[in-house]
Each structure stands twice: as C-alpha cells, then as structure tokens.
Chains A and B, each alone.
Chain A
C-alpha cells in the first residue's frame, strides 16, 4: 500500500517522472498545498501497518473522514440521485485537482464564476431576505396602497346594491379577496428559490407557463390603465370645479355661500345636452357670462385637453423617485375624506327609512344591481400585484397571513365608514348619490372645495407614478428593456394619454370605469390566477382533493360571473 506523504516540506530540484520545470517546486503557493496535505497529515499512521487489522484501520479512517470531508463529498451512501449532483461533484473534483497545479494567484487555474455551482453564490445569510419591516408598517403599507379612488364611489356603489345587501357583500368580498391575496403570497413563498426576487408573474410562469405570466402582466396592466383613466376623469372634474370656483369668485365675489349644508342632486338639475354636464354642477354664473369662459372651460369637452398640458411634461421622466416623495399625500387625502364624511354625516344626521313610511328617505335594502358593487369592490380590494413586494420585507414572514387579515379588516372598515355612513346620512333621495361623492356638493362648499384641491394635487403627483409603472411593465414585457428609446416612450405616453382623454371626453363616469376594470382585472388576478396556481401546486405535490378543487373552481366561476354581470347594467352610469 502506498503511504501518503506526511512531510510538509517541498523537495524540489529532484527529477521525477512528471515534474517538468525543476524550479517549480518552490513556487507553489503554500496555502493550497497545505490545505490538501492537512488531510493526509492526520493519517500519521499508515493505513495498514503490521499488527493493526485492516478492518480497524478502515473504521478509524471512516470516522476521521466523516468529520473532515466537505459536506457534499459522498463518504456515506447518501442517495443524491440527480444527475446534477454528479456533475457538481465532478466540478469539485476538478477544482481540487487544478488548485494543486498552480499557485492561488494564477488566474489560469482559478475556477471561473460561471462554473461555480449557483448555490454557492448565496450563503444562507443572504438568502434570508427578511428586512426590518415590522408588522405595523406592513399593515399600514397594505392599507395605504389599497386605499384609492374607489373611496369616492363607495356610497354610490353601496346604494346600487341596497343598504343591507351591500354591507353583506362588502364583508363577503373582503373575505374572498383576502383569501386569494393570501394564496398569492403563499404561492411566491413556495417558488422562492436561490434568493431570486420573485413576483407573482414569475410564479405564474413557473406553474402555468408563459401564457400564465403573460396573463398576469396583461391583467395587471389593465387594472393600472383603469386606475389611470379614473384619475384622469377625476382630475378633470376637480380641475374644472376648482378653476370655475376661482373664476366665479374673481368675477362675482360675495355671491357664494360657504359651508353650506346644501346637497346637490345633479340628476335633477337642469343641464343642456351640448354642455355635456351629465352629472355636472350648476354654476351660479349669470347667463350673460357664459359665453367665453364657460365655452372654453367645459368639464367634459375641453378640460380633459387642458389637463394634458399640466400632466404631460411630468410623464416623460425616466425615474419617478421624485414623485414617490408625495406618497404621504395619499394617506392624508384618505384621512381627510373620512373626516369629511364624518363631519357631513354629523351635520345631516341619519336619514334612513326602512319601512317606506315616507317620513324619511327611502332605503333600498337589497337590489338586483348588486354586481355593480361587486365590480367596484374588485378594484377597491385589489392589491394582489403589490402584495408580494410589500410583504417581502417583513421581519417575521410567518405573520404575513395575520397582518394581511388585519390590513384587509382595516380597509373594509374604512370603506364601510365612508360608504355606509355617507349613504345612511344622505338627506336627499338616495338615488342622487353620485359615483363621485364630491359631485353632490356645490363648488362653493368649503370642505368639498378643500377636498377637491387636495385630491387634485395628490392625483397630479401620483399619476406620473402610475404611468411609470405601466410603462415599466409594458416595455419590459414587450421589448425587454425599460427604456427602449425616447420614441417608444413618447409614443406610449401619447397613446395612454389619448385613451385617458377619450374616456374623460366621452365616458366620464368613474363608477362605470371602476367596476368594469375591477371586474375585468379581478377576473384574472383576484379570482382565476391565484386559484389556478394553488390548484396546480397542489396537483404537483399530489395533494389535490376533490373538495379543494371544487371550492376553487367555484371561486373562479364567481370571478367570471362578476365580470359578465357588469355587462347587464350598461345603462346605469
């Protein structure tokens, strides 16, 4: 038996079979050779010396070898069956051999990065990407992100479904969307590999193939587009009202009343078709003044285009980080709206008449128009595309489910406050409630005016952000780069702005836009994709059972019904 060399010294200068350059012996880096020799050094005694049984020698060697070999060296019969492990072992074997041939600073024998097995690039301390985000921040982020423009439409949507039925539907929808959102987050955890930063669209690609990813991107973009259109319509509305008020104040000061508790019922107000003010405000200008200003400044006909001048310059920025600084405005506007609704409600008192005695405002308890509410809520409770990013940095990811639930409850409560309280206290016919609740207030109402200014400014700063995210996803999916060229970007911006303007001109009903885009996007993102991914995952793990399949299939059908249901009520603006 050949005994391993135990001496550390480098004997050079002696000619042997394979040494080529006599001077090489001294030049070898001591560190690597030392490491290798250390292995053999422990075997001070030769493996089989006389008086020592071979078996004992083998046992001794085994126990020593188990303790000092690297983790993937198959000293014990671990069944690592994958082909991959054989080639990884082969790579390691080569690495060991080549490192002995050259000093460590010789680049020729150094293992290149692309050969090192990928798992070695992510030591455990980096895979664990738990951030410093506490539960409270996560809950707040979720709440903040979900609170959007659908807040303004809540009372109207609630009324469409009927008061009691509406509240029931709110709770049910909140629970349903919470469940699917939880599924979304859980599914990402299941796929998370090699420390890659994953989004739900990656999960869709993993389980459902390219079309799954394409679907998720497409529907995500459509939700974004819906939000942008709503923003545009609202911005035109607020801009119109604010400028009209300012103009009227300048022209006919002292004519206004402030803090009026008067509530408008725009459906009954006089409007002329060519003015296009379908649910418009009647302005207190005298007929004679109409011509120039109000001809130029029409809410539906011209203001959308004026808005382009204000907004378009902001859209061509490469990086929107500047706009993220205005994020706080969003929260403040929500808080302001809640306060606003509470103040108005306290001024009006409750006006609910369930028994139609005529003493008070009639209340519909349940109505066949409830899909309008479900469509609106689909957008109101939509956070599935951002949930993964928000929950990624949780300090304690095991609390994701709990935090998500709390956040959803908070959101639901906010919506209920704004929706139900406003609805309950609205002093006129409940059918008057507009899909933008601020439309029920004249532009001289101080609180409403403040709300309009506030929201206008907030939307003006958030709109470029929405635009940017849309552009990012769109460009990346189609062209592989986020800023392919200035031409691409400008063309996309023009197209998107064009779409917004067209909607603002011809269909400025945010209720319709919200419910259609909510149902459409929700069809895929809230109902179908999370359930499909979950079912595929269970199937792959072999844990798919009939009840689970039926329940999730039912959820998918609900999503489809939600979408189809929107088309039945096209006349309800």
Chain B
C-alpha cells in the first residue's frame, strides 16, 4: 500500500507509520464503539496516512460528513469530530451537538480532534455557543507533513500563502517548523540550513529555538539529510504563474490533482468490450491515483509532454510483443511461466491504457489554438518581450470573457516579468477587468497587489532582465526529448526557485550575491551542531541529500526539475521536496481571490 514511500533515498514510510500510531493512540482513548464525523477537506490527506481498515480495527463503525442539522442515527458510544480549526466548522459542530437528543440512552460522548493543531480561538468560540463542555476529549493531531511520495511531503495547507504574505499570520510557518522538528526526530538533525526570504528566516529561527527548548529532541540518529534549503514562494512569484508543460504538471493544470488523485472525464475510459457496444457510457468521472507506485507513471510524469507520446508507443509495442509470446509457449513449463507473468502484464496493460487515454485528453487541449496563443504570450513575457505595454492577446481574452483566473495569471505574469507594470498599463487592465467581470473584483485585485503579484513599477527600474540573464532563466535551445537542463519543464523557462537550489549545490550562492539582493528577503546560512560520532564520513561518490522546503507552495513542474537534478549524473545531490501545499497557477490565484457571494441566480 505504501511501498512507494520507501523507494526513495529517504524512507518516508517511517513518517507515515508515526502518523498511524498517533491516530491509533487517540482512537483508543475513546473507549468503545465510535462514529467519526469528517471535515470533508481532511479525508483526502488522511487517506494518505490510513485507510478505513485501520479505523475499523479501533472500533470505528460509522463515518459521516460534517454538515449542519441533526447527526445521523448510529448506535455508537462515541462521536468524534475530525476537523480543521476553522470557525465556520465550529458553528456546524455546535449545531450538531445542540440538536442531539438528550433523552436518548445511552448518551453518546462527543470528542474533537483538531488537525493539525488545537485552536484556543475555536474552543473559545465553542464556549460562547455553550457547547464546549459537551466534549470529553479535545485534542490535536499533528498531521503537519504528509508523505505524498518517496521524495515528496506536503502540509496541504490551502491558505498558507495567503496567511503568510497577505495577512502576515505566521501560524502555518509554525506548523512548518513543527513538521521539520518531527522530521529531524525521525531522520536526524540536519546539519546545514540555508534559506532565502522572510518566512524562511522565521522558520529557521523557530527551529533553532525549538531545538533549544526541547532538549528531548536531541537525538542520536545518524542524519539522513545533509542540507535543508528553505525557500519563500515570494522569492519566485513567476514560476507558478506559467503553464507547466510536464506530463504531471499538465494533468494538474487541466484537471487538478487532489491528494494524489485526479478525476477525469469518463468518455475515454469506457470499457470497450465486445457485445457491450452502444451501452450507456459511464457518467461519473473516472478517478485515478497518481504516484510512483505505478511504474509507467513514475517514468513519464516528469517528462515534457512532447516526450510522452513516444514512450507510450514504445511501451505499447513491448507489451504487445509480450502477449504474443503465448503463441510460442509450447511446453507446459513455458505456458506456466507465461501465466505467472500475466498479472504483471495485465497491470502494465491497464496502466498503459489509462495513460494513453489521459495523453489523448491533454493533447486535445495542448493542440488547441487558444492553448498555443496563451503559451506564446507567456513565453514572450518570460523572455522579456513587450512586457511594458498592454498586451493584445490579454485584451482579446477579456473581451471574450475568458475565465477571470486565466486573465489574472497572465496579467500577474506580465507584472512580475517587468518588476511591476507602468501605472498607465496597470490602470488599463484594472478598468477592463472590473468593467467586464464586475466591480467587486476590486477586492481581489487589491489582494494581488498586496501579495506583490500585481503592482505598479515603483522604482522605475526593471530588475527582471538582470535576474533572467544571471540565473539563465531563459534557455534558447531546449531539448524536450532528452533534456540537459531544467528549463525543459517549461519548454524554455528554467524555474527560478530550482535554479537557486541548483546554484546553491554548485558552485554556491556566493557567486550570485548581487541577484540574491534583488530578490525579496534575506538569505542566510545556519549550522546545527551534531554530537561527535554522528558526523558523516562521506563515501567517495556518495550523493548529498538536500531537503528543499517551499514555503507557500510548489508546482509539479518544479518538483520535476528537482527530480531531474537528482538524477543527473555527477549531480552530486539528491533532493527531497517539502511544501505547505501543492499548487498550480490557478489554485494559487484562487486562494488569493476574495470569496464572493454566489450570484443570486
């Protein structure tokens, strides 16, 4: 079930196991039969830690989704709410508790499990509603870093970026630091910490402070990680705005990957069996899990989409040939061998069928005129062309009322690639957007301005060209099939964040001091003392392991770029990636938009 977590350089199964243990401990505190009432958002992340069978072993008999009204009938002793500490959820819980039939016997006991942290504000809120006393256990489940894959951890905290950069609320940074402390407890103290950005500085400070205050966390585990690199998302606002062009990145851009699952339109997945032709097509979306447990997916997910087709067709030939083997099997022994391989072959076949269908779906979109036009404009901006005037394509899109998020992504991209827009250009875009999409979006535009994504050019100086040239962000000769540089993930643009990681490993940041000063926030280095005996004696040729923590979100294309660096011959460094949330430009901009009341009809 979780074998793919141990496939990487760092065995992340241990982290998952620790999470499972804590869950069991909590469940056992509430003796007797139980029903869990779920904050729906949590079911996805929890699914990566435990399945229903684990809960069932601990007497969880029923599970419900949290919603207002009376709780469903269930003959259980305990009702446990699994919730994020959010006030609107507290209101629902209050409603549930107040409607509980007091006359029933035996009475059901209530408990709350806050994920990832207890909130005094929420408890205060419950108290004001007069229900706080109804809960016997009020605890927290520190699900900070959830293992997504052998080299990938996420906190899945949707609002982290907004909280950090818009509201200056550092709670999610505190959770990040906590998560890092957990990691260090399991995998040893990380001797070197590098960072860039305000939030990175905060997290490093908290880690050092926590280490000082919890002497118990001094451990004697041989360090698995050599280096921690903390990066603020606002050091690189550009990358998530561009359209990702890796296979996994495009799946996420188009269909949205949630907790390793994707929902796809069912038409292309209809079972084509003889005698069933013409039967009604499935209408429910097809849901697939995407991770490295699937051999084929692990091979193609990080490739540029242009290189995926040829791999799939090669695989198809191999599989066809393998199935053909059965004609040559003559002896009983040969037949037996063929049969023994069948399950593996069948799995490979169904995996190939799925990805061929997904590739077709994506190709329909990437070959559309609009996708091409959009990408053209993105690439112009990123390579520094015409970033200082109103763009025709963006104007056209507004006139045709394309989705607002698409417009915002492009305008923000232009702003970032120009170190802010000329006041006249900015005002023009603003007016067009407000007139076409509604004046209330003035609130969203304001948020984007505050986050630095959309702003007037104040200094009158555009730093982007210098940054682009020094960090080689735009590469003219990209090889999408057999890449030799990370810029393949955006077909030309090398993600700034990953370039920083790459340059840190070799030749070191000293070589780019000037550019680092142009990017927001401080850059720093810290060392954590290791007890003698735990210092690493590196074998010749052994790779270093660096944990890169993206504060405020990371895209699949950036992950692909880091994996590319891990696999480079003589690269010398392998990367494990952690983040507050897996994002793409759309989900990111959405998190910054003002929640508007739905239209009255």
Question: Do A and B come together as binding partners?
Answer: no
Residue positions of A touching B, CB distance < 8 A: none
Residue positions of B touching A, CB distance < 8 A: none
